[in-house]
Amino acid sequence: STGRKNLTAITAPIDLGIIARIARRSALVQRASSHAPMRALLLVTLALVQAQHYHQHHMPRAKFDDQTGAPLNDAARAILARHSATAPAPGAGATEAFDSLVDVAVAAGTWKFVLLECELDGRRKRIVRALQGLKYHAENYDVTAAPLKALGVHVRVVGGGRIKRDDAAKTISVYGYSKTFGRSPGCNEATAEMIRAALPGYRVDWSDEGY
């Protein structure tokens, strides 16, 4: 719906709530049918478990080098391994999860963001994520991508940077880049355009300068 696409405040990874509900419902359907493929059940169960872990903040926090963007612990290396992994064939709930993705989720304050491209059955959708409480670009990627990829949705990082959202002034600035994922020409401009469409009440500017 339009209301779901154009959010004014994001304080949590809302995609996970949507995907968790889809996974839970899909798992119940799979259990009810003795002919349902066990692989699909495993996929949606995995997606639900990952979503619940992120939602409850039980996963170890990743650490990346602030100067180089390199991973500094096992949790960070695991994120990059998941980023490199290929998504399995689409499972139950993949289409609904893909169709339910919010275009833009930007928390108030200054946070790192990623521009992601999701693909399912030849359809592609770009989404922006700058979630509150996530220190690294890779965390923004993983919170969104891990449950989606478990369902069979391909997710790749287009680029990243920082977003400063001032709700009092109704301004949003997009700038910088991701040291972990590298510079991506056109990323900040494209991100700003998406934010303008999702949040028309804000003045949005962008730059490739800074970090």
The angle formed by the CA atoms of residues 99, 150 and 56, to the nearest 5 degrees, is 90
Give the 3-state secondary structure of residue 206: strand
Which residues belong to the active site?
Answer: 137
Q: In what order do the strands lie in the sheet with 109-120?
A: 104-106, 123-130, 109-120, 154-166, 171-175, 203-206
Among the listed residues 6, 12, 47, the one whose alpha carbon sits nearest the alpha carbon of residue 26: 47
Determine the Cα–Cα distance for residues 131 and 18; give it in Å rounded to an integer: 16
Determine the Cα–Cα distance for residues 155 and 19; give it in Å rounded to an integer: 15
Q: Is 112 annotated as a binding residue?
A: yes
- State which H helix or E strand residue 117 sits in: strand 109-120
Instruction: Please state the residue numbers annotated as binding site for substrate.
Output: 112
Instruction: Please state the residue numbers annotated as binding site.
Output: 112
